[in-house]
Structure 1
Amino acid sequence: MFDKLFERDVLQVACAIHTHAERKGKISIRASDLLKLDCNDYQKKYADEMTRGFEEARRFLGELSIVRGTDMPNLTVAKTVAAVYALMGKNGLNAVQRDRLAQWFWAATLGEWYGASTDTRVASDIQELLDWLKGGDKKPQAIGNINIRADRLDELKTRGSVMYKALYAAILGEGCQDFRTGEPASAMHTYDDPVDMHHIFPKKWADNNNIDSNRYNSIINKTPLDAPTNRMIGARAPSEYLEKLEGELASTGGGGVAKEQLDRHLESHLINPDLLRADKFDAFYEDRKEKLLKLIERKTGRKIPRDDPKA
C-alpha cells in the first residue's frame, strides 16, 4: 500500500513525531527540521511509533477500500494519517475518532485539499487532527474550507486525479457487487486480474450513438467491475448485456428472481436499472451524477451546490 512513498515521506512522519515531542506539540516537517534528525534518536525513540503509525494507517485505509498502492488517492494524505496514528498512542483510535478521521480523509481527497501541497499545510493538518480527535470542537480546515463543484464530476476521466481515485474507493465502500458474479468488488482487489473502473455504457456503443466523449469517459459512466465481466459487456448496448447477464443467471437456477438479483447488483453501484435497461444515456448520466454527489456529501459532511436550485 505504501510502496509509492518516498524516503522523504517516511522521514517526515518521523520528524512530525520528533518535533511534537521536543517542541511541546508544535509540529514541523520542513527540510531544515529533517536535517536535524538524529539517527540514534530515531532508532531509539521513534522507530516503533512510526512503524505502528504506518501499520494502523494501513488497516484504517483498508477499511476505506484502499488496499493497493495504485489506488491511494494521495500520498500526502497517507503519510498524514500515519503520523496521526503514531502520535495518538498505543491504544489507537476509538469509534468516534475513527469516524472523524474518515471524514477528514474523504474531505481531503474528494475535496482535492492537497492540490498544491506544502510541508507547512501538512504539519498544520496533523496538529488540527490531533486536537479534533482528542475532543476539540474546531474541525480541521480540510473539512471546513473545501469547495467541491458539482460539475467537477464531469471532468474526472482518469486515475491521474486525486478525486477520481477517492471516488473509486468511495463507490467500493458502498458495497458494490460485480454485475455478473455478485461478489463485493472491494473483496476482488487481491485477484490476479483485479477489478478496475470500466464503462457502463461501452465506448463503442456511445460513439455509434453520438454521445459526447467528455460525458461517456467521465467517472459518472464508470464503475468497478472485474475483467471477465467487462469482456462480456464488450461493445454491447446496456439493454443487450443486461439481457445476456439475466439469461445466464436464470439458466443456472436464478429463475424468476434473476432480474431482481441483477437489479440489486446494479443498484449497489448507484445505477438506476430501468434507465440502463432502456439505454437512456442522458437520463442515466444525470441520475447517477446526483447519486454520486450525495455520496460525496455523506462522506465529507459538506453540501455541494447544484446548478439546479431544486437539487
Structure 2
Amino acid sequence: MSTFDSTKLPLKDLLKDIVGGKIQLPDFQRGWVWDDEHVRSLLVSLGRSFPVGAVMLLETGGEVRFQVRPVENVPSAGLPAPEKLILDGQQRLTTLTQVLKLQGPVKTTTEKGKPIDRFYYIHIPTALAGADRLDEAIIATDGNRQIRSDFGRKVELDLSTRELECQQLFFPCSEIFDAMSWLQDLNVHNPGAVSQFFEFNKEVLEAYNGYQIPLIILKKDTPKEAVCLVFEKVNTGGVPLSVFELVTASYAADGYNLRDDWYGSDIRNVISRRQRISEEQILNGVESTDFLQAITMLHTLEKRKADIAAGKTGKQVSPVSAKRASVLELPLDAYKNWAEVVERGFNCAAKFLRQECFTSQRDLPYRTQIAPLAAVMTMICKKDEERWREPQIHQKLARWFWCGVLGELYGGAVETRIANDVEELLAWIEGNGDLPRTINDANFQIDRLGSLASRLSAAYKGINILVLRDGAHDLFWKSQIRNLEADEVSLDIHHIFPKDWCEKQGIARRQYDSIINKTPISYKANRMIGGSAPSVYLASLQSHNQVQLDDVAMNTLLRSHHIPVEPLRADDFDAFYEQRQKELLGLIERAMGKALHSV
C-alpha cells in the first residue's frame, strides 16, 4: 500500500492555504527566504511557466507529531491547526508567500548575505515586449519602494504611492493573484493604459494564476522512521539538514521540542540552553552538534560499560562513538538524562580553558576539542564540580589538551579521535588506563616552529597562549597580559624585531614573520616599538614616564616572554632567533610532556 499521493495544485491555492494556516511548517525547519537574485529568478521562471520543482507535504494527525509554526511572516494569531506540513520546498514556498501574498516588504538578503527589504514589481511595457524580456521587466525596490543611486542620495525610481505605480506602469507582484483593485486605481490615475493592462493580464498574469505546482503528499499513517529518512534525503535544492535538525525531527515525533531546548522560545517560555552555555565567553562558539556529540559519547560509553559487565566480547561490545549515525540514533530518554549534567560539564570545561589562559572563542585552536573535554569533565565532576583542579587530574587534562593542540590533531574529521579520547582519557585519569592515543600520536617537529606565521594556525594560537600562561608581562602596562585581557585592554601578537627594521636589514620574511619573532603585547607597547631597532625602542620604553624601568626590571619583563635579552639589546637577530626558538621549544616540550624531534 502506497504511503504517498502525487498530484498538482494551482500555486495560488497552495499559497492561500499557507496564509490561512492550513499548511504550516514543522517548527524545526529553517526560516529562510532566498536572496534577492534568487527571488527574481524564481519569479521569472513562474512567469515563463518553467518548472520550479515539486513540493512535499505531510498530512497531520498521524503517528508523527511535530511542534508547528506558520511560514515566515504569516501572522500566527487565529490560525487553525494545520492539515499539512511542508517537508520539502520550504524555501520556495516561503519566498513566494512573502512576494505574492503578503503586503509588507520581503525580508531577503544580498548575494553576500546582508539582510535587506525588497518590494518586487513587473514593468508592464517591458513584459509585453516578449517572454524573453521578463527577466528585465521584473525589478526590486528597497523597503521604501524606491531605487536609489549615488550612495542613496539620488532617487532613480519612486513607486512609493499607488499613483506613481500606475503612472509609470510598474505592477506590484503582491497583487498578481488579485489584480482588480490595482486595475481600479489604474483607471483613476492612468486611464489611457487600461487596455494595455488587459493585454498584460492575458499575456503575463495568467501564467502566474494558472501555474500548477507538483505535489507529493505523504499520508498521515507514514511511520516516523520513514518521515525522518525523508527529511535527510529530500533537500535537493538547499543545504542538507544538519544532525541537529534531524534529531529535532525525531524527538518532535515523540512530543519533545529540541529546538526550544537549545535555542529557547519566547512563545513557549523556554530558556535557551545555548544562551546559558554561551554566557561563558570562551564557549560562545559552541554549536548544537558539539552538545549532541558530548551526550552521545557518554551514552555510548555507558552502553559499552554495560556490555562489558554483561560478559559480551568483540563486536558484541558497543563502541564509544561521536559519529553522525550514532548521534541520529541517540534516544530521547538518553538526551533528557544527560542534558543537565553535560551542560555543567561544558561549564567546567570553560573553567579549565580559562585556567589555561584562554579568554575568548577566537583564541581557541580547535573548537572540536570542546566536546570531548566537556564529556570528560561531566564524568570527573559529577559529584564535585571542582574535582578537575586536583593536581594530578589537572596535569593529565592539560597534557592531553596541549598534545592535541600542538600535535595539530583536531583539524578535519575527528569523530573517531574524540570518541577514543573520552574513553581513554577517563580511564587514564582514573588510574587504570594507558596513555591516550592523542598523547602518543602528538609530535611537534622542531622545524615546524619556524614555519608558523598565520594566526589562524592551531599551533600558532597555542604557542601564543602558552607564553601568556607562563606569566608574560606587558612591556608598557605594569601587569601580566592575562590580566590585561580580563580587563579588556587592547592586545595583539606583534613582532619583537619590527618588520620595517628587519626588511631594511635584509632579513627574510619567513624568519621575521614566524612566531619565533612574535609575542603578545598591548597596543600601547606596540605603538612605542614602531619600526625602531630593539636597542632604540627598549630605551624609549624604559624612559617613558608611565613605565620608568631600569635595565634589570625590563630584562625581567622580556624574560617573561621567553625573549633572550642580550641579543635583543645588541640588535642581533640571528642570535635572538636561535635562542628564542630553543626557549619556545622548551615551553612546548613541558606542555606536551615529551621530547621533540626534528624531521
Partner residue of 2:423? 127
Return the offset for 1:21.
Answer: 2.2
After superposition, the C-alpha distances for 1:252-303 in whole angstroms (9 at most, x for unaligned) are 694xx61111110000000112111111111101100011001111111111
CA RMSD of aligned residues (A): 1.7
Alignment partners' CA distance in 1, 2:571 and 2:518? 15
- Give the SS at the match of 2:357: coil
Selected match of 1:13 from 280, 294, 302: 294
* TM-score under structure 2 length normalisation: 0.49
- For residues 306 and 161 of structure 1, what CA distance do their matches in structure 2 show? 20
CA distance in 2 between counterparts of 1:182 and 1:220 reads: 24
Counterpart CA distance in 1 for 2:598 and 2:371 is: 33
Residue 195 to residue 240, structure 1, CA distance change in 2 (3 Å): same
One-letter amino acid of the counterpart of residue 320, structure 2? I
Greater RCO, CA 8 A, separation 6+: 1
Q: Determine which of 9, 23, 33 is the counterpart of 2:326.
A: 33
Partner residue of 1:42 out of 315, 328, 335: 335
Residue 223 of structure 1: how far off its partner (Å): 0.4
Match of 1:56 in 2: 348
Pick one of 169, 176, 185 that aligns with 2:465.
169
Matches within 5 A, 1:250-265: 251=545, 254=548, 258-265=550-557
Question: Is the CA contact 1:272–1:284 (under 8 Å) kept in the aligned structure 2?
Answer: yes
Q: How many residues are paired up?
A: 302
- Say whether the 8 Å CA contact 2:535–2:571 is kept in structure 1: yes
Letter in 2 for 1:207: E
1:225-274: per-residue Cα shift (whole Å, max 9, x none)?
011111111111111110101112xx5694xx611111100000001121
Q: CA deviation at 1:46?
A: 0.8
Number of the residue aligned with 2:535: 239
Q: Distance in 2 between matches of 1:192 and 1:201?
A: 26
Partner SS for 1:225: strand
Report the TM-score, using the length of structure 1 for normalisation: 0.92
Comparing 178-187 with 288-297, greater Cα deviation is found at 178-187
Which residue identity is paired with 1:14?
I
1:182, 1:265 within 8 Å by CA — same for their partners in 2?
A: no
Task: Find the aligned partners of 2:546 and 2:420 in 1 and give their Cα distance.
Answer: 57
Alpha-carbon shift at residue 118 of structure 1 (Å): 2.4
> Which string of whole-angstrom CA distances, capped at 9 and with x for unpartnered residues, describes residues 42-98 of structure 1?
23x111211111010000110000110011111111221111001222323232011
Given candidates 143, 147, 166, the residue that maps to 2:443 is 147
**Does the CA contact (< 8 Å) of 2:368 and 2:414 recur in 1?**
no
**1:224 corresponds to which letter in structure 2?**
P
Matched, 1:215 2:511: yes
Cα distance change, pair 188–274 in 1 and its aligned pair in 2 (3 A): same
Tell me which residue corresponds to 2:361: 69
Query: Which structure 2 residue ranges, 5 or more long, are not aligned?
Result: 1-281, 307-318
Per-residue CA shift, 1:93-152, capped at 9, x if unaligned?
A: 232011111011111101112234321121011111011000025111111222211110
Quote the Cα distance in structure 2 between the aligned partners of 1:33 and 1:306: 40
Greater fraction helix: 1
Mean CA deviation greater in 20-29 or 103-112: 20-29
- Is residue 273 from structure 1 mapped to residue 593 from structure 2 by the alignment? no
Q: Per-residue displacement from partner, 1:162-183 (whole Å, max 9, x unpaired)? A: 1111111111011000012231
Tell me the residue number matched to 1:2.
283
Identity among equivalent pairs (%) = 36
- The code of the aligned residue for 2:283 comes to F
Rounded Cα–Cα distance in structure 2 between residues aligned with 1:252 and 1:10:
47
CA contact (8 A) 1:175 1:268 kept: yes
CA contact (8 A) 2:464 2:519 kept: yes
How far 1:40 moved relative to its partner? 4.8
Among 12, 17, 23, the residue aligned to 2:304: 23
Q: What amino acid is the match of 1:233?
A: I
Does the Cα contact within 8 Å between 1:239 and 1:277 map onto a contact in 2? yes
Partner of 1:195: 491
Write the deviation string for residues 172-200 of structure 1: whole angstroms up to 9, x where unpaired: 01100001223101112234443221111
Alpha-carbon distance change, 83 to 5 in structure 1, aligned in 2, over 3 angstroms: same
Aligned partner of 2:396 among 79, 96, 100: 100
Between the aligned partners of 1:284 and 1:75, the Cα distance in structure 2 is 34
Matched, 1:282 2:574: yes
CA displacement, residues 17-52 of structure 1 (integer Å, 9 cap, x when unaligned) = 222223327421111111122345423x11121111
Q: Secondary structure at the match of 1:198?
A: strand
Write the distance in 1 (CA, Å) between the matches of 2:472 and 2:434: 34
The DSSP-based 3-state class of the residue aligned with 2:532 is: coil
Q: Please tell me whether Structure 1 or Structure 2 has the larger radius of gyration of its CA atoms.
A: 2
- Aligned with 1:224: secondary structure? strand
Are 2:524 and 1:228 aligned? yes
- In 1, Cα distance between equivalents of 2:490 and 2:304: 46
Amino acid at match of 1:280: D
For 1:252 and 1:189, locate their aligned partners in 2 and report how far apart those are by CA, in whole Å: 20
Runs of 5+ unmatched residues, structure 1? none
